[in-house]
Amino acid sequence: MHILKNYFYSLRGLLCFLRRFYHKVCEKTGLIFYSKKQKYHFIYQFNLENKSKFSKAGLVFVPVPFTAMGLKAYPTDFQLGTDGLYANRYGYWSFFLDGKQKMVFKYEFDVISYPKKLSHDLMHFVFADYGNVPNDVKKKYLSSNKYLRSANKDIVNLARQLKADEENVVMVMKKINNFVISTLIYANPISGLYDAEFALTYRKVDCGGFSTLFASLAMSLGVPCRIVSGFWAGYVKSTMHAWVEFMLPDGTWIPVDASVEQLFEHGKSYKSGHFGFVGSDRIVMSYGCDIPLEFNGKKVFIDILQNPYVYSDGNEAEIDVQVECVSERLRF
């Protein structure tokens, strides 16, 4: 029995290796769909349900990609806005729900998604080159917030240890990515965003935790970063996902998807995503985190623009939200 068990694990390991090798070859040769430009039709539908016996009124906000084409929404009293920090576009409805009442919201659009890859001619930058980056960019993408804890003492010391005497930016970012992959464990997915301190302490987090830890370590070394949130596209299920991008001194944003890279190496996912590459199998909904929304003279901060955000005079907990998203690949 022991010999059979070892044989089974060896065979499973070999099959996993072969599948990884096959997908890597398909990615490099352009034989897999996400290695090329894709066009999708995306449908975002959700239900609001008032769980209390009292009526509720308020606003519900949803992300709208800047690249969205042919946007249609139901109900039709859909308005568009832009956040004042990252310039993300969003849409919103007003609503009124009687006690125990449900209401359906839906919007849809077409969008084109491109693969994004680190090119070899961008490998030469050193940290001193960030001296030419505009101050407004540094302020926006180097500032700590509720989720990016780049001023945390443990994170600062860890980042310095990982950097050591290396001055090449890409090489240090690879070190940070490898540390995140080897330290964290993909688990406990949530609809919100884990902060970097939690990720470093408790280790078992989802894609958001991988991203906030990478970003915080990089930012503590003076490398601008931003969280990217969106949905998988081109698969049976269009589930949520988050990754990160760091900025090179020339303004180029480089993708990093540590959580998918870890899952891929363990044979648990064959979607796109590793250091320096994300495919066209995703739709970007928003950039940044701890995003400010201003409306009716009020200002609130939300983790990321991904799920519907409900505002109802402090009684949001009594309103249940159920989301369903579907993407369909279209021919050009």
Q: What is the pLDDT of residues 188-208, one digit of tens each?
A: 999 999 999 999 999 999 999
* Same-domain check for residues 16 and 105: no
**278 and 134 inside one domain:** yes
* 157 in the same domain as 201: yes
Q: Are residues 172 and 305 in the same domain?
A: no
pLDDT score for 255: 98
Side chain identity at residue 55, one-letter code: S
Residues 250 and 164 grouped into a single domain: yes
User: Where residue 10 falls among pLDDT bands split at 50, 70, 90?
Assistant: low
Query: What does the alpha-carbon distance between residue 227 and residue 221 come to, in Å, rounded to a whole number?
Result: 17
Within this chain, do residues 22 and 76 fall inside the same structural domain, yes or no? no
Q: CATH number for the domain including 302?
A: 2.60.40
Mean pLDDT, range 209-223, rounded to an integer: 98
Averaged pLDDT for residues 240-250: 97
Is the same domain home to 163 and 309? no
Same domain flag for 134 and 271: yes
What pLDDT does 2 receive? 60
Same domain membership, residue 142 and residue 53 = no
280 HSE (CA, 13 A, CB side): 20
Q: Report how far Cα 14 is from the mean position of its chain's Cα atoms.
A: 31
Residues 323, 244 share a domain: no
Q: Domain span at residue 168?
A: 116-286
Domain at 246, CATH number: 3.10.620.30
pLDDT at 291: 97
Q: Are residues 13 and 161 in the same domain?
A: no
Whether the predicted pLDDT of 5 surpasses 90: no
Confidence of residue 297 (pLDDT cuts 50, 70, 90): confident
The mean pLDDT of the chain is 93
Q: How many domains does the chain have?
A: 3
Do 47 and 25 fall within a single domain? no
Which range is least confidently modeled, 24-33, 243-252, 266-275? 24-33
